[in-house]
Amino acid sequence: MNLFEFLSSDNMVAYWLEKHVNDQPLLGETLFPNRKQIGIKLDWIKGANEQPVALRLSAFDSKTIRRDREGFEQYTTKMPFFKESVYIDEELRQQLNMYMANNRNAMAEQILAKIFDDQIKLIDASYVTIERMRMEALTTGTITLGSNGQAYAYDFGVPNNHKATVQTSWSNANADVIGDVTNIVDAMKAEGITIKRAIINNSVASDLRKNNAIKNQIYVLSGGSIASITSERALNYIYEETGVSFYVYDNVYVNENGQAVKYVPDDTAIFLPEGTLGYTNFGTTPEESDLMNSIADSTVSMVNGAIAVTNHIEHDPVLVETKVSMICLPSFERANEIYILDTEA
């Protein structure tokens, strides 16, 4: 087997899948499950969430009164295209060939492992990009993309009255957190939306743990046997009082500038109903539709049917290029049913 055959896209994908076989789904994937479609055009309908209106009376033997479908909005947009590559240069190939020719298999295996690890970083980067889009849509109601001379902006139409800032910062130990949460639950219920969950990061969870009213009430309920409480204890108490289960999502990614960024920003709480909120939509990349099984010097494989991994051999200079590409954009069919709260006044 030559080097190109060994570094085929099938082997790359198999290596990546083996390394991630025990990974749990990212939060965004549970809220926006993956869906594959043909092409790059994305259509979805954002549903209405108004309270049901009572049926109107009708006379016997009369025609049925037809009710219009109110409150539905259709969205049509073009999904963005992502593509990046890494390559194995002539010098590295020569070094690898030398070790293999001299039966220095241990050294050759180390280089091959390093090559595979470098190549699959592009697949990891794809998943970071996907989760970043999903969580940006959830925490802001929009997605903004910009790099390599390209720029995209998507607004999913979260209602303005579903975005608010608290009167007293939750970082203030005297804030009325239970009152704030109850007000949101009641306001959304009046629109026919049942809020069951909230998403925050650890910074907000820490604020809740230090809240005086929450601490004092837990202290009373425990018979005065504790001096401090954990974030888990505080979140459990909020659930008992409001019916809203808080989930702490503190994962981070590294952006294009090398900065660590939280998927859920500080001072943000997102309230949502049960169930999924939309989909993570994947289109068909040019590599998948045009290169697969058609060019002798290229191999194309798919990661979970969504991300295209292409390995291609260049003849001058001689090198092997690994390219990862995807067409992807979340849809947000239930954007009307979330509430975004800024917890810092």
Any idea where the domains of the chain sit in the sequence? 3-49+72-157+280-327
Whole-number pLDDT of residue 318: 65
Whole-angstrom distance, CA of residue 148 vs CA of residue 179: 46
Percent of the chain with pLDDT over 90: 49
In the predicted model, is pLDDT for residue 52 greater than 60? no
The string of pLDDT tens digits covering residues 230-264 is: 999 999 999 999 999 999 999 999 888 888 999 99
**Residue in 132, 88, 98, 120 with CA at minimum distance from that of residue 255:** 132
Whole-number pLDDT of residue 42: 83
**Position with higher pLDDT, 127 vs 224:** 127
162 contact partners, CB below 8 Å, separation of at least 6 = 188, 336, 338, 339, 340
Whole-angstrom distance, CA of residue 283 vs CA of residue 100: 40
Torsion of CA 247, 176, 163, 53, to 10 degrees: 90
Whole-number pLDDT of residue 55: 53
The string of pLDDT tens digits covering residues 123-159 is: 999 999 999 999 999 999 999 888 777 788 899 999 9
How many CB atoms are located within 10 Å of the residue 274 CB? 9
Strand 318-331 versus strand 81-88 pairing type = antiparallel
Please give the CATH number for the structural domain made up of 3-49+72-157+280-327: 3.15.30
Helical residues (DSSP H) of the chain, grouped into ranges: 3-6, 9-19, 27-31, 90-101, 105-140, 177-189, 202-209, 212-221, 231-242, 286
Whole-number pLDDT of residue 234: 95
Whole-number pLDDT of residue 262: 95
Whole-number pLDDT of residue 344: 97
pLDDT winner (highest mean) among 19-23, 81-85, 102-106, 168-172: 168-172
Residues 323 and 84 sit within 8 Å (Cβ to Cβ): yes
Compute the mean pLDDT over every residue in the chain, rounded to the nearest whole number. Answer: 85
The string of pLDDT tens digits covering residues 174-219 is: 999 999 999 999 999 999 999 999 999 999 999 999 999 999 999 8
Whole-number pLDDT of residue 178: 97
Instruction: Give the confidence band of 62 by pLDDT, cuts at 50, 70, 90.
Output: low
Whole-number pLDDT of residue 21: 84
**Position with higher pLDDT, 42 vs 334:** 334
Whole-angstrom distance, CA of residue 303 vs CA of residue 305: 5
Q: Which amino acid is at 280?
A: T
Whole-number pLDDT of residue 65: 55
Residue whose structure tokens are 């001058």: 316
In the predicted model, is pLDDT for residue 38 greater than 80? yes
Residues 322 and 85 sit within 8 Å (Cβ to Cβ): yes
Of 18-32, 39-53, 58-72, 307-321, the range with the lowest mean pLDDT is 58-72
Rounded to two decimals, what is the model's pTM? 0.85
In the predicted model, is pLDDT for residue 58 greater than 70? no
Whole-number pLDDT of residue 59: 56
In the predicted model, is pLDDT for residue 117 greater than 90? no
Whole-angstrom distance, CA of residue 215 vs CA of residue 161: 31
Whole-number pLDDT of residue 66: 55
Q: What is the mean pLDDT of residues 42-65?
A: 58
The string of pLDDT tens digits covering residues 258-292 is: 889 999 999 999 999 999 999 999 998 888 877 66
Q: Is the peptide bond before 317 cis (omega within 30 degrees of 0)?
A: yes
In the predicted model, is pLDDT for residue 50 greater than 80? no
Q: What are 159's two structure tokens?
A: 């209602």
